[in-house]
């Protein structure tokens, strides 16, 4: 599969912005609704309003398109974290900003999380997908860790561990709450959020 990916054009960057966005969003929504197996190029092309041939030309394989979806998702998450942390002048302000950002993600419904967990399942069978997914995860976590380090050096935070460890723990905490929400939609997650914030506070101040 890696050779096939390498032979393709750079992909969505060469598409008109509107078409690229429609294709990626159509695949994102389709995976959440139908799973990876049910998300065919025919269906995605129809939903995006483009030809099936255009998807094949620019993406080549479903895996390549799926990775682009995850890449875009990671970019959005990184930007949200950056924006949420930018104006924080204390650990409490930062905590409130992170909680708001997380609640926004939860408020979008299951599309993003389901798509991501579908990709994790696919990664167990595709080495290249696994490597790319791991690289994207590291990039997002390292960007968050760098932002925490900057805030710590500015005196906004007093980290109780290395920024990389704190970032990894907070991401794992958020992932766990998302899984609870997906597996038990009727569960009241307010107590989980309360204890999650308490755990984060212990690491940030």
- Angle (deg, nearest 10), helices 163-183 and 127-153: 120
Give the mean model confidence (pLDDT) for residues 42-51: 91
Quote the distance between the C-alpha of residue 25 and its chain's center: 13
The CATH number, out of the four listed (1.10.1040.10, 1.10.357.10, 3.90.1150.10, 3.40.47.10), of the domain defined by the range 2-204 = 1.10.357.10
Tokens of 16: 């008109």
Mean residue pLDDT of the chain comes to 85
pLDDT tens readout for residues 71-123? 887 888 888 888 888 889 999 999 999 998 888 888 777 777 887 888 888 88
pLDDT tens readout for residues 173-200? 999 999 999 899 899 999 999 999 999 9
């Amino acid at each position: 599969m890696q050779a096939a990916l390498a032979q393709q054009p750079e992909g969505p960057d060469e598409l008109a912005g509107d078409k690229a966005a429609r294709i990626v969003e159509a695949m994102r929504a389709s995976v959440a609704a139908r799973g990876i197996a049910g998300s065919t190029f025919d269906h995605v092309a129809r939903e995006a309003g483009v030809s099936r041939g255009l998807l094949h030309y620019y993406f080549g394989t479903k895996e390549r398109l799926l990775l682009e979806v995850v890449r875009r998702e990671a970019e959005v998450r990184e930007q949200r974290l950056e924006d949420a942390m930018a104006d924080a002048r204390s650990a409490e302000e930062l905590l409130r900003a992170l909680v708001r950002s997380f609640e926004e993600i939860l408020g979008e419904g299951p599309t993003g999380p389901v798509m991501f967990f579908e990709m994790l399942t696919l990664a167990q069978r595709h080495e290249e997908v696994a490597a790319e997914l791991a690289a994207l995860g590291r990039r997002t976590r390292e960007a968050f860790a760098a932002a925490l380090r900057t805030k710590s050096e500015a005196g906004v935070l007093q980290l109780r561990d290395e920024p990389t460890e704190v970032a990894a723990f907070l991401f794992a905490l958020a992932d766990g709450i998302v899984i609870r929400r997906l597996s038990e939609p009727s569960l009241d997650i307010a107590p989980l959020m309360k204890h999650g914030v308490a755990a984060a506070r212990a690491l940030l101040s």
